[in-house]
Chains A and B, each alone.
Chain A
């Protein structure tokens, strides 16, 4: 399956991926409306980690054998036929068991009153995830690397 891979040599830490992740998961998918008009702005599902000149964008790896799916106490997390690890937000209660077992630290806690997890869904339905298509440096790519 296609996954998002970071190329840290090209990442300048501009965080446009985070911004466009918000846009991609907003109601209108319009950057101005998402940031200025919509009541509930989604949290970015990708995080840029930065330390001096080193930076990279990071999000759920959609593991072949996802620990989070095995551990999920409510059945909210599942791996679909395409291989995407997705969260059914109606079932997530924010117990953070997935955070306990995700070896990448890629699952975020919802902010404020949002007691649900926040994780990458590879922009389900899109040709290319928003973060990838809006990265000015191709510092994140969406490709098949021959891993099952």
Chain B
């Protein structure tokens, strides 16, 4: 069996590990645009801030490819997939045949329409090379006033890293509050205040309209006409699934490539996982792109096992995130804002801690936890299992909430492994 994987991040590594659990013989080829072995993409901001070294960013041991007998083709780009010939063509001309193909090409950053931006040397903040370029400018004192477009997860980590390097950072966000993909307004204000205490300046409810001055970058013009000085623009306006390779293929796609529960596209020999795929959201009960690292690994792993001949359904996942700024932690999962109108919200707010829980019919739908984030995973578990929280609902807001607070029967089922297999196979 010949396996080919396009992409070399979480989903790709998951697939390699999934394939090798089932098939030790087949050949695996991984095609990677980036010239590196798989690294932890979320660590790029840590790298820029000087918290981790490049050699500590690798997601697996240095012998990962060798140990799993994977042929890694680093720095190679795929130009097209020929699903009839069952081969992928590299830009430099080489054809690579496959029996099973995995699309794990991820996403690419979105460039918002800003007049004049294409003539400027703007930066994204999505790859190791992106931060290496930014680092060079910072070291050469060519980035005295960074401007970040977008206050999402990526933009805010960029802001934190540059601030830790001692630079005065400005963040522009079209939305009314920061981190709109994971936080509602009140907790967003708490986080914003924390970041402002570290010197980060926010311009909310506005967008960058134009980069007016040609030649050397000096500043931008905002949607309200205000000018903001900057010599380094980082665009962090979200990502889009990379669909260019499937455009000519007879596979359905929406925002991402559609897959079934086996991570298979409409073509039975082509699978997809990670940011490129619309996998199963078990909370929303629909297929959609959930661009998070743990989900990409899980989907890749499931795809890998199925490519190697098993029939294993992906359990699905839902949005969850853990992120911190200047040591202030944020964990969120599931739905974070009332949508249907029949949700119930419970909140505990203290100066350094915030907890918000959203229920529907006494079942937890989502939570936002700031500050002391310990044991947040119990909430994630309550969401995932759809457990009726009625008997212990009030205790959930307790800062010390733990398994002790669950009803005896539920607690014992969770803790006494020997009695139920499910209680330990927590996946």
Contacts and interface: CB of A to CB of B under 8 A. Distances in A.
Given A66-B426, A96-B329, A147-B417, A105 B43 contact: no
A15 interface: no
B346 interface: no
Nearest to B427: A65
Interface stretch (A32-40, A56-64, A121-129, A130-138): A56-64
Contact of A99 (B42, B46, B374): B374
B124 to A, nearest CB: 19
Given A70-B297, A104-B403, A104-B414, A99 B373 contact: yes
A66 to B, nearest CB: 7
A103 B381 CA distance: 5
B1 interface: no
Given A61-B426, A99-B322, A101-B294, A93 B377 contact: no
Contact of A146 (B324, B331, B378, B418): B418
Q: How large is the interface on B (under 10, 10 to 19, 20 to 34, 35 or more residues)?
A: 35 or more
Contacts of B373: 96, 99-100, 109
The majority secondary structure among interface residues of chain A is loop
Interface string B360-373: 00000000000001
Nearest to B59: A75
A105 B417 contact: no
A97 B294 contact: yes
Contacts of B298: 70
Nearest to B14: A70
B381 A70 contact: no
Interface in B33-81: 40, 42-43, 46, 51-52, 56-60
B40 A75 contact: yes
Interface string B196-218: 00000000000000000000000
B415 interface: yes
B375 interface: yes
Nearest to A72: B294
B373 to A, nearest CB: 6
- Of residues B43, B294, B380, B425, which shows the largest number of chain A Cβ atoms within 10 Å of its Cβ? B294
A95 B415 contact: no
